[in-house]
Structure formats: C-alpha cells, structure tokens
Amino acid sequence: MGDEVAEAQRERELSKQALAAHVAALDTRVRDELDWRSRLRRDGFRYAVIGTVAVVLTVSVVVLRSRGRKKESSAATVTSLDDIAAQLDEIRQELARRRKEGGPLWQKLAVRAATTAAAAGGAAVASRAMERVAGSDEPATGTDPDHRS
C-alpha cells in the first residue's frame, strides 16, 4: 500500500511539473500576443501591405469619382477687378444668408469652407487676371488704363 501512495505522489508531482511547463509556455505565448512591439516585428510587413492597399484604393476611388463629376467650365473673361469684387461680394452675401438659416453642424462647416475657398479663389482669379493684363500690356475690357490697383 505504501508503494501505491508513493507512486501516486510521484505521478502527482510529474503532473504538477508538466502543468507548470504548460502554464509557462502559455504565459509566454500570451505575452507575445499582447506585446505590440513583437507583434509589429512579426507582422509589420503584412500591416504595411494592408495599409498601402487601403490608401491606394481610397485615393483611386476619390480620383475616379472626381473625374466623373468634372464639368467643362467656360473661360473666364475678365472685365475689371471691380466686377470680380462685386461677384465675390454676392457670393459672400449668399453664403452669409445660408449660414444664418441654420442647419446641421456639417452643413455650417461646409458653408464656412466654401466661403474660405471662394475668397481664396477670387484672390487667385484676380491675381491671374492682373498678371495677364500686365503681361499683355493691354488693359482688360472695361478697365481704365491709368487706374490699376
């Protein structure tokens, strides 16, 4: 009977050691899975490829959509800087009127962005028009040759 007890204790001790080894291995594996640095070292290339594909796909969709919506615009005829300023003022007044009407936050942000873009676009058109006028040494239609701003 004493041999059977000793054998059971020995088996129990071996089971404990095997279990401890399995727990240690599992602990190491879990730590490796949770450690973002080791995971990045191991799977970094895969993440880079997936990220690159996602960015390229997104940019491609945006470019293809923008090409489909592209409209032909007529060439701008510059009459005078006063006319451009009046058009910009009309755009600003229209946008201000729409801003006062209210609406969701995204709409307000879009209107503010459009206002800024209209101001920047107007400045670019005005400077381009002045460059054309200065480059051709001829006044634009409807402008006074002696009065340049």
* Segment 68-92, tens digit of pLDDT: 665 555 555 667 888 888 888 888 8
Sequence-distant (≥ 6) Cβ neighbours of residue 149 within 8 angstroms: 81
Rounded to an integer, what distance in angstroms lies between the CA atom of residue 103 and that of residue 108?
7
| Separation of first and last alpha carbons in the chain | 115
Cβ 77 vs Cβ 70: under 8 Å: no
pTM, two decimal places: 0.31
Distances (CA, A) of 139 to 20, 124, 149: 92, 18, 12
The 3-state DSSP class for residue 111 equals: helix
* Mean pLDDT, rounded, of the chain: 78
